Amino acid sequence: MGFIRVLPIESTAMPESSSDLDLSHPSPRPGAGSKGWRYAPAAFVKALLLAFVVCAVQAAEGPGHAAIASAHPLATRAGFEVLDQGGNAFDAAVAVSAALAVVEPQGSGLGGGGFWLLRRAEDGKTVILDGRETAPLTAGPDMYRDARPGASLDGPLAAGIPGLPAALVHLAEHFGRLPLEKSLAPAIRHAETGFAVGERYAVAVKPRVAALQGSPAASAIFLDHYAAPRAGFLLVQKDLAETLRRIAREGRAGFYGGSTAQRLVQGVRAGGGIWQGADLERYSVMERFPLRGRYRGISISSAAPPSSGGTVLLEALNILSGYDLARLDGAARKHLVIEAERRAYRDRDLYLGDPAFVRMPLGRLLSPAYAAGLRSSIRLDRALPSAALGAVAPSRQGDNTTHFSIVDKDGNLVAATLSVNNAFGSGFVPAGTGVLLNDEMDDFATAPGQPNSYGLVGGAANAIAPGKRMLSSMTPTFLETPERVAVLGTPGGSRIISMVLLAVLDFAEGHGPESWVSVGRFHHQYLPDAVEYEPDGLSREDIRGLEKLGHTLQKVPYRYGDMQAVQWDKRGNRLSAASDPRGEGWAEVK
Ligand code: DON
């Protein structure tokens, strides 16, 4: 397949005041064509218009109460604590992000990064706040070639320059109402006094004990006498509380300058890493246009590069919009979802990377004509082997990384997916900081054709370069119809995108958040050429049907993902929220 340089967007970075870039295209909705409108009785049209006006008024007014779903009860409570003090959804997002950094250190933290999809109710401004890590300035494409095995996963050489602290400061300064002292207070309290870790921590820490043991500061904090702690272990993080206080007092300089920066750089270099002061000084968050599309009357806003999430999600939905999935039986339907994923994930591997470094044919990838072309290669009666699509490797992944969703009383929205990559990131804490560093460098294509820890194979577009952001799969997403707004996302490595895709299809069928977070999961990512599925992700009939079509199926021995979702139903102005039953999260409406 040739690479056509059609480029509607050079970079998706946006100046603060610019309006949204809309890559959407109308997708036909069966039964809702122009004919139906032409013959609709006038009274019906009036009623419909009235309903739209009511919805618009309610939208402007907001739901009047708030909902938060996050992966940890203490983080959800931290968000409400800040709302109760007069904060808005963005202050709550600071509080939840910081609390998760303390109470779910296996998933995200100050030493990591993430993407915050934001909608400000007062002016409708919708942006992706990109707090993705960057490669150090002395990093290069071959830096892992002669390094010890696992250097992109464990230890300070695996760590990109963190973006989460800068994102918290940006959120507070540009979107919030409260000072950081208030929004960081719950996190500081939990770090200072400690909290009892849950089963999820106890499970996640086991395979990371060796990595954590390599860092004296990390083992002193996260292990129990150098061994894996059990559920109930009191995790106290005094140094982290101090670092959080410095951020609360000094803002950005509290992390990227002064004594914190000094300790971070010193610790990293002493452990064999390559950070310098300039890496931290030069780090900056970006506000970007979200990618936008439509699927069966649903407006979708999601993550733009350097996350592949929105692109792969919208490309798969564009392919699926040519079929009436509701009329197909389970296996036929899942076959089409799998074939759409196969093609969209292949384009991820081929084209996507950091927009500051690579030119990406996003306009083409997200065009209806391109989707139609891909659709024409899909056969209804059999699976097409990935190799037949042209060449551009297996996967292990847990549920590290984290997601939370917030709707506040005014209708401000936040969907945020945050990560340190694998459980407990690189396992490395620079002494005196309490900051557990990410191992996000592994999200780059660390060597040609070499799959990363999610089995993803990247190409030149995602090669390492100084200051470059590594390609992500994080997919914080808003779904909107005139009646309903959904705010959702999940951790899960490369499976994040297919989980969000299944949730969008479930939303399209009219289901609510309890259903989106619970739906059985299956996944195809082009390579390896196999459909992975949860123990209860496919029925027996589905399995038989898909095997008959020629798919290779692989049961994953655990249930995956930890989706956190909120729905604002404007018809009754009702909020509902749900936390994935697979996790230990907490969703609440107040
Ligand atoms: O940015 C990414 O795509 C990955 N670092 C996310 C990692 C993740 O979700 C881990 N969970 N299994």
**Tens place of pLDDT per residue across the chain (590 aa):** 222 222 232 234 443 322 223 333 223 222 222 222 222 344 434 444 444 444 444 445 899 999 999 999 999 999 999 999 999 999 999 999 999 999 999 999 999 999 999 999 999 999 999 999 999 999 999 999 889 999 999 999 999 999 999 999 999 999 999 999 999 999 999 999 999 999 999 999 999 999 999 999 999 999 999 999 999 999 999 999 999 999 999 999 999 999 999 999 999 999 999 999 999 999 999 999 999 999 999 999 999 999 999 999 999 999 999 999 999 999 999 999 999 999 999 999 999 999 999 999 999 999 999 999 999 999 999 998 998 887 653 334 456 899 999 999 999 999 999 999 999 999 999 999 999 999 999 999 988 777 888 887 777 899 999 999 999 999 999 999 999 999 999 999 999 999 999 999 999 999 999 999 999 999 999 999 999 999 999 999 999 999 999 999 999 999 999 999 999 999 999 999 999 999 999 999 99
Residue 390's pLDDT is what? 75
Integer Cα distance of 237 and 215 in angstroms: 15
Distances (CA, A) of 586 to 273, 465, 500, 502: 37, 39, 19, 21
- By DSSP bridging, strand 67-70 and strand 586-589 are antiparallel
Residue 60's pLDDT is what? 59
Identify the CA nearest to 159 among candidates 214, 202, 96, 222: 214
Integer Cα distance of 445 and 358 in angstroms: 14
Substitution candidate for ligand 1 out of 115, 164, 473, 490 with most atoms within 8 A of CB: 473
| Ligand 1 atom, smallest distance to 132 CA | 1
Identify the CA nearest to 112 among candidates 334, 328, 436, 408: 436
Q: Give distance in angstroms: CA of 473 to centre of ligand 1.
A: 7
421 lines ligand 1 (CB under 6 A): yes
Give the burial class of 316: count Cβ atoms within 10 A of its Cβ; 0-12 exposed, 13-18 middle, 19 or more buried: buried
400 lines ligand 1 (CB under 6 A): yes
pLDDT one-digit tens code per residue, 281-318 = 999 999 999 999 999 999 999 999 999 999 999 999 99
Q: Give distance in angstroms: CA of 392 to centre of ligand 1.
A: 21
**Residue 326 phi/psi, 5° resolution?**
-60, -25
Integer Cα distance of 531 and 523 in angstroms: 6
Integer Cα distance of 61 and 157 in angstroms: 49
Q: Are 4 and 361 in contact (CB under 8 A)?
A: yes
493 lines ligand 1 (CB under 6 A): yes
| Ligand 1 atom, smallest distance to 440 CA | 5
Substitution candidate for ligand 1 out of 311, 474, 525 with most atoms within 8 A of CB: 474
Identify the CA nearest to 523 among candidates 455, 457, 428: 455
pLDDT one-digit tens code per residue, 551-585 = 999 999 999 999 999 999 999 999 999 999 999 99
Integer Cα distance of 219 and 392 in angstroms: 40
**How many other CB atoms are found less than 10 A from the CB of residue 277?**
13
Among protein residues, the one whose CA lies closest to atom 6 of ligand 1 = 493
Q: In what order do the strands lie in the sheet with 574-579?
A: 291-295, 298-302, 477-480, 484-489, 564-569, 574-579
Average pLDDT of the chain?
89
525 lines ligand 1 (CB under 6 A): no
397 lines ligand 1 (CB under 6 A): yes
Q: Give distance in angstroms: CA of 396 to centre of ligand 1.
A: 11
> pTM score, two decimals?
0.90
Integer Cα distance of 130 and 134 in angstroms: 11
Among protein residues, the one whose CA lies closest to atom 2 of ligand 1 = 472
Q: Give distance in angstroms: CA of 146 to centre of ligand 1.
A: 25
Integer Cα distance of 118 and 31 in angstroms: 33
Q: Give distance in angstroms: CA of 468 to centre of ligand 1.
A: 17
Identify the CA nearest to 513 among candidates 585, 590, 575, 560: 575
For residue 21 the two structure tokens come to 């870039």
**In 3-state terms, what secondary structure has residue 1?**
coil
Integer Cα distance of 520 and 499 in angstroms: 9
440 lines ligand 1 (CB under 6 A): yes
Residue 199's pLDDT is what? 96
Residue 400's pLDDT is what? 82
Integer Cα distance of 548 and 379 in angstroms: 13
Q: Give distance in angstroms: CA of 419 to centre of ligand 1.
A: 6
Q: Give distance in angstroms: CA of 105 to centre of ligand 1.
A: 14
Give the burial class of 37: count Cβ atoms within 10 A of its Cβ; 0-12 exposed, 13-18 middle, 19 or more buried: exposed
Residue 142's pLDDT is what? 92
Integer Cα distance of 165 and 111 in angstroms: 8
229 lines ligand 1 (CB under 6 A): no
- Which residue's entry shows tokens 């968050």? 285
**In 3-state terms, what secondary structure has residue 139?**
coil
Identify the CA nearest to 537 among candidates 514, 513, 553: 553
492 lines ligand 1 (CB under 6 A): yes
Length of the chain: 590
Positions annotated as catalytic residues are: 401
Integer Cα distance of 29 and 421 in angstroms: 38
Residue 459's pLDDT is what? 79
